[in-house]
């Protein structure tokens, strides 16, 4: 049985490959803002929104790949009662990092396995990240060094590279911060007989 990743995220694909999995990458075609709009209006908690988005992606790809296990994932950043999305440009990234300075935010990473268009397993993990007090000058230097790659991250940072310098404390699983709760996913794949026990 093939294992399919319903995401174009390089880091998610690398995490799975580095864990020894053979995967096909087949990104989902889902309008995330349209899926989440009624959930936001109904004030669903962030973990539920992340799970629904991950499931929508997994089910989208799974419906066109019968018999295959499809992994969908989504990550939400919650800060001071608001859901944040990827910054549109470097100025938005700068403003976001200034707002995060000296404060704590949460990353909620959801992963879903679907088969034949239906979710068969779901999991959401949460990490709490506290940023150092950051000066505007430091943020400017950081963004210049990191480059446009920060725009592909909901938090405007890559913890696996220079973005680690932004933080004072991290509570939670490293893989959750990277956008894929890998250990629970591997455990579930073992229980499904996809990995050796």
How far is residue 10's CA from residue 12's CA, in Å, rounded to a whole number?
6
- Three-state DSSP state, 132: coil
Contacts of 144 (CB under 8 A, 6+ apart): none
CA 186 to chain centre: 16
Which uninterrupted H or E stretch holds 22? none
31: annotated active-site residue = no
Given the residues 24, 74, 116, 173, the one annotated as active site:
74
Question: In the chain, what is the greatest distance between 2 CA atoms, to the nearest angstrom?
Answer: 53
How many CB atoms are located within 10 Å of the residue 171 CB? Answer: 11
Sign of the CA dihedral running 59, 62, 67, 68: negative
DSSP secondary structure letter of residue 101: T
Residues belonging to the active site: 74
């Amino acid at each position: 049985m093939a294992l399919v990743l319903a995401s174009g995220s390089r880091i998610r694909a690398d995490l799975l490959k580095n864990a020894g999995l053979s995967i096909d990458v087949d990104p989902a075609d889902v309008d995330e803002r349209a899926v989440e709009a009624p959930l936001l209006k109904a004030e669903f908690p962030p973990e539920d929104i992340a799970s629904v988005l991950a499931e929508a992606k997994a089910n989208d790809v799974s419906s066109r790949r019968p018999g295959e296990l499809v992994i969908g994932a989504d990550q939400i950043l919650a800060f001071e009662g608001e859901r944040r999305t990827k910054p549109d440009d470097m100025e938005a990234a700068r403003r976001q990092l200034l707002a995060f300075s000296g404060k704590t935010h949460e990353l909620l990473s959801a992963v879903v396995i679907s088969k034949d268009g239906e979710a068969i397993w779901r999991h959401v993990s949460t990490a709490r990240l506290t940023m150092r007090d950051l000066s505007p000058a430091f943020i400017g230097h950081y963004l210049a060094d990191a480059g446009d790659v920060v725009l592909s991250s909901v938090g405007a940072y890559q913890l696996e590279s220079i973005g680690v310098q932004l933080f004072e404390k991290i509570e939670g699983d490293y893989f959750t911060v990277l956008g894929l709760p890998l250990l629970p996913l591997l455990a579930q794949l073992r229980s499904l007989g996809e990995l050796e026990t």
